[in-house]
Chain A
Amino acid sequence: MIQAGLETKNELTPPLWLLAELTYRCPLQCPYCSNPLEIAKYQNELTTEDWIRVMQQARKMGATQLGFSGGEPLVRPDLETLIQEARRLGYYTNLITSGVGMDEARVKRFKEAGLDHIQISFQASDEELNNFLGGTKTFQHKKEMARIVKEYEYPMVLNIVIHRKNIDQIRDILEMTVELNADYVELASTQYYGWSRVNVDQLLPTREQLANAEIVAKEYQEKMKGKSRIIYVIPDYFENRPKPCMNGWGSIFLTIAPDGTALPCHEAGQLPIEFPNVKDFSIADIWHDSPGFNHFRGFGWMKEPCRSCDEKEKDFGGCRCQAFMMTGDAANADPVCDKSAHHQALLEDIARIAELAEQESHHKVGEKPLVFRNMKNSKKITKEAEKTVTV
């Protein structure tokens, strides 16, 4: 009896984390952006009323953390209204922003509306690289915004996405976060989804770069103890076991895309699975009953080697999107796992990119241009993808 129970569904927990991707519009064009390549297809954004209904329903089920993200959430003029309602409902409200589109007056309004926390992302610690990577001139403005955020007594998280182009500056980056008085620092290694996957050849760091960066990160973690929490995560491509992705499919995370599509994680839209829309269903229906959210719950869907693996309750077989991207089947083990038959191919790919990086650094080959994340490139990529499908 108990055995059978384990094989079917785990006890269903409520969603704790609601990620509201308010829009995919963004003034920046980061080539490592994890938004889907099809951003141009999401013109039909949810209305203020839609979002309020979603927040109410998820809160009633027990969600406590709410992230406003995007794209750039500041693009939405109703952000203040949404924050106010979210706070009234009892959410801990997080604004995840590039800082572009923010000014002191708006920070003040957010405070009055009850916003709990602001996370600002930087592309790099020096102006030129920051502006290059973001595709616009924003560096000084971001620094100014970070100062204002502290002035208004927000806990401030500075998020810097780390990759081959900026990883060697990690010391300068950390110095900058010290100077700006960050409460938390997330040195977030690029995760290779969406746009960063397209640019992986130019972005994936080498093993040596990672080893050096880790030493510096550790040094600052020690030094800043009690003042600032520094979180450094290496890209999982270099691990032998996958991350417990989303803490298990449909177990605590709920992402709503700008058009209202409900997803178990913000990358899941790329999977060949149908996901429900909040315009058609309530959050409770979506969470409990939709085929999309039940698809990879529990362990019954697993194939070998995960099915008979004694670590499956620890990592749930890793990331479904990574399995899909690298093996063509989302039910396979995440190739990051060295028990996966596809792990070898991943290692070879890393070696190929390391070789490329080596040649680049000796100027034997020209650097491949980065594909910037913008609507024009999105339309182009989507069109090309459709062509290949119809052939």
Chain B
Amino acid sequence: MNISPSDIPEVAPTFRVQWEAVQNCYVVLYPEGMVKLSTSAGEIMKRVDGQTAVDAIIKDLETAFLEDDLESDVIKFLEVAYDTGWIRNKK
């Protein structure tokens, strides 16, 4: 998957992302299964809302965490998320 900065990702309808207080992390839920997200993965996934473009997600993360070189990490994670089918491009 080649991601362009203007892509607008959304969570695919067969998946759900939510905060789990007991686990103290974001999780991805799907039929009969659950994946716990690391803190950084959770921060990315919670910004995938079907309205924000990839470049805006990166900027937002850099602002929130006072970093300026998150681009490659974010892209790397989004690629995995596209490939596993968690997210897709909003049409």
Contact = CB atoms under 8 A, between A and B. Distances in A.
Interface residues of B, number: 14
B20 A65 contact: no
A27 interface: no
B31 A117 contact: yes
Given A92-B16, A116-B16, A155 B31 contact: yes
B29 interface: yes
Contact of A67 (B23, B32, B34): B32
A62 B23 contact: yes
Interface string B1-40: 0000000000001101010101100010111111000000
A153 B13 contact: yes
Q: By CB atoms of chain A within 10 A, which of B14, B23, B31, B33 has the most?
A: B31
B33 A65 contact: yes
A64 interface: yes
A229 to B, nearest CB: 9
Interface in A152-175: 153-155, 157
A157 B42 CA distance: 27
B34 A92 contact: yes
Contacts of B22: 14, 61-62
Interface residues of A, number: 19
A65 B14 contact: no
Contacts of A67: 32
A119 B31 contact: yes
Contact of B32 (A61, A65, A90): A65
Interface in A172-191: 183-184
Contacts of B32: 65, 67, 94, 117, 157
B23 A183 contact: no
B52 to A, nearest CB: 23
A64 B13 contact: no
A157 B13 contact: no
Contacts of A90: 18
Interface in A50-83: 61-62, 64-65, 67
B31 A64 contact: no
A155 B29 CA distance: 12
Contacts of A246: none
Q: By CB atoms of chain A within 10 A, which of B14, B16, B18, B34 has the most?
A: B14
Nearest to B33: A65
Given A90-B18, A183-B14, A64 B34 contact: yes
Interface string A100-132: 000000000000000011010000000000000
A16 interface: yes
Contacts of B33: 65
Contacts of B14: 117, 154-155, 183
A16 to B, nearest CB: 7
Interface in A261-312: none
Interface of A: 14, 16, 61-62, 64-65, 67, 90, 92, 94, 116-117, 119, 153-155, 157, 183-184
Given A64-B29, A67-B32, 8 more contacts: A14-B22, A62-B22, A64-B27, A65-B32, A92-B16, A92-B29, A155-B31, A157-B32
Interface of B: 13-14, 16, 18, 20, 22-23, 27, 29-34
